[in-house]
Amino acid sequence: MAQHSLTKEQSQQFFEQGYLIRRELMPPAITDALIAKIDSSLSPALAPVEFEADVHYPGAPSSKSAPGGQTPRRLLHAYSRDAIFQQVASHPEMVATLQALMDSKDILLSQNHHNCVMTKHPGFSSMTSWHQDIRYWRFDRPELVSTWLALGPENVSNGCLLVIPGSHRIELDPGRFDASLFLRTDLPENEPLLETAVPVELNQGDVLFFHSRTLHAAGQNQSTHIKRSLTFTYRASGNEPIPETRSAVFEDITLS
């Protein structure tokens, strides 16, 4: 498959706003196969799985024994689950885009961060508060890029991602975050920033690329259908994980 380089405008958007959407990047043959594989892994849930009750986010069931407590939130270790996940992670268009965004020919996939299928089920999905992914990650530099592949419509009604454009370039004082490193929505000084948030609306096959410092959040699924998304995180060669941290538990996968 031919690899298409990014336009100057696309590269500039990512640099300035901290995210970029590439429409219909994954063909229907791949996304349909992914959906079938994911659905067969959701009922019954194929371990390793993180449940809504595990995350303790707003709106999540209080425990696994509570109503909805057995609702899957994430199918973990996606890359090692099946060849179809590996095909997406190393897809030529995915890698070519990452090479351009990180200005590196050598791209590696982290098996320690994201590397999962995100699901939001009607009735028992939780909200994800405003945060930067780099908050718990440990690398030489906070310059990683994550990908988010939509496997169906993603919009405000079913809990799509929300982003704050340009937030990856802002230095925020620690006091503007809570103890779990979520951006505090109760502080007046954060209100102007939160007012700039925009929804990332996607369709099946669209891929969102976003910087590890970009502030993002997500709402609950108010629709009647499961929302499924596949997300991976990548780094450039030379931006190494810090030894003996969560970022270095599993070996990274070289893709180029």
Residue 68: predicted pLDDT: 87
| Right CATH for 17-254 from 3.40.109.10, 2.60.120.620, 1.10.10.10, 3.40.50.11890 | 2.60.120.620
pLDDT tens per residue across all 256 residues of the chain: 445 679 999 999 999 999 999 999 999 999 999 999 999 999 889 999 999 999 988 888 889 889 888 899 999 999 999 999 999 999 999 999 999 999 999 999 999 999 999 999 998 889 999 999 999 999 999 999 999 999 999 999 999 999 999 999 999 999 999 999 999 999 999 999 999 999 999 999 999 999 999 999 999 999 999 999 999 999 999 999 999 999 999 999 999 7
Alpha carbon distance 90, 34 (integer Å): 14
3-class DSSP state for residue 60? coil
Residue 2: predicted pLDDT: 46
Domain range summary for the chain, segments of one domain joined by +: 17-254
Distance linking the first and last C-alpha atoms of the chain: 16
Residue 58: predicted pLDDT: 87
Hey, which bits of the chain come out as E strands?
19-22, 49-51, 72-75, 107-109, 116-120, 128-131, 145-150, 161-163, 198-199, 207-211, 216-218, 227-236, 253-254
